[in-house]
Structure 1
Amino acid sequence: MKLSGNTIFITGGASGIGRGLAEALHQRGNKVIVGGRRRGYLDEVVAANPGMAAVEFDITDPASIERVAAQLIADYPDLNVLINNAGVMQPDNAGGHVDDALLVSTVETNLMGPIRMTSALIDHLKTRDNAVVAYTSSVLAFVPLALTAVYSSTKAALHSYVLSQRFMLRDTAVRVLEIAPPWVRTDLMNSREAEQAMPLDAFIEETMAVLGTDADEILVESAKPFRANPGPGEHGFVDEFNKGAVELFGR
């Protein structure tokens, strides 16, 4: 991906990985617009990064997505990069009752939202040079965390969608990228102080280096063993990973 001279919209860009990517790309000479539901967080990011812009919208609401897509095309006709980063992660219980509100919210935010957002902008992106659609998935797309089974499932589904969309857009100028983070110190699952998680600044630095290459999958080194795991013998890795997670989180 070209790392400068773009006009970029990042969903979920007001905190965590989204904000980290937004600020790194802003510093490299891109016009960055961050989107999210929390006006206060958006205002904070814009205030800290003069020249950045923000739009408030709800990734779970199709009408809100259509409205913000039309606004972006009108206000930023040079828009050529979409980074679908918005996501929610909550613990659930795949071995028992799964709360329906959690299920619907997670699927709408993590899977339906990115698909709808891209759908609303894809025809415009096809007209732009150096166009990119990127999705923030997770290493949990490849090695599910049983304590967050719904979240892991949405990321696996998103990975599958990325593969299909990349194929369908193979004869266009639009590149489709997947960013698959490991455990990173963000607000997801209260991980900001987790010693075992990768520091956010280190993740952003390594991710930006890979993003600037021709790679379709953006993986930091610690994510690669997870990406390499799926296959006939995947269960052993998955089971050992989850045994460690249960010990860590006490469930």
Structure 2
Amino acid sequence: MLIQSVFAAAREVFSPALRRIVWKSIGLTVALLVLVWLGLTKLFDIFLNNHDLSATYPIIDSFAFFLAGFGLFIALIYLLPAISAIVAGYFLDDVAEVVERKNYPADSPGQPLPFGKALFYGLRFAGLSLLVNLVALLLFFIPGINIGVFFIANAYLLGREYFELAAGRFWPAEDVTRLRAEHRGTVLAAGAVVAALLLVPVVNLITPIFGAALMVHLHKKLTQNPAERMPLRRDNHASIEKA
């Protein structure tokens, strides 16, 4: 099931139907990375200017600039999951519509999340990811632990949040949580695939689109049993409750 979803998502990312969305996603990801890079560089420059090392310790000053360049690059790697979260939240409905229409035409289409809820999910996802990866960044100089913490933490977060975004197009929040809990192992494994992709330079730029497509396919496959074949639309759910 998971392997089928992974290969289906990989084919989807490079399909003509998603090509325009992929390029837009890469453009937004690069733009956000550049903005973060400029912001971090500016902060470091302010720090050096407030602590004038060049006059007394020119060697330390030069080493600080070299370390800053390497340090900022590492910081961007740890910030990439949070940036990916923002991009994924922005493009998920576009990706889901294409995947659902192309691969599941007989099923009822999902409903895009309301803008406020989509924004909340995206910011929550980014905030959690930023917090977890800042903790992981503190462990960067501990060999054997740094990569492990980064991978496990992001496998959990990416699996949970991407799945909730995809399933949220069909189910009320409490049912999304139930589905994720029932299939926690599969969702975590899918998150691990996305987290592994984040570790591959350049290829990690397509993570938001790949992750979105993967979870759309996975959600569909997980809800194909008779008890869950017809996901509850939010509007149908609300009308049932009112009745």
TM-score tier after normalising by the smaller chain length: under 0.3
Q: Is the helix fraction higher in 1 or 2?
A: 2
Query: Which TM-score applies when normalising by structure 2?
Result: 0.27
Structure 1 or 2, whichever has the larger Rg, is: 2
Q: Select the structure with the greater relative contact order (CA < 8 A; seq sep ≥ 6).
A: 2
TM-score, scaled to structure 1 = 0.26
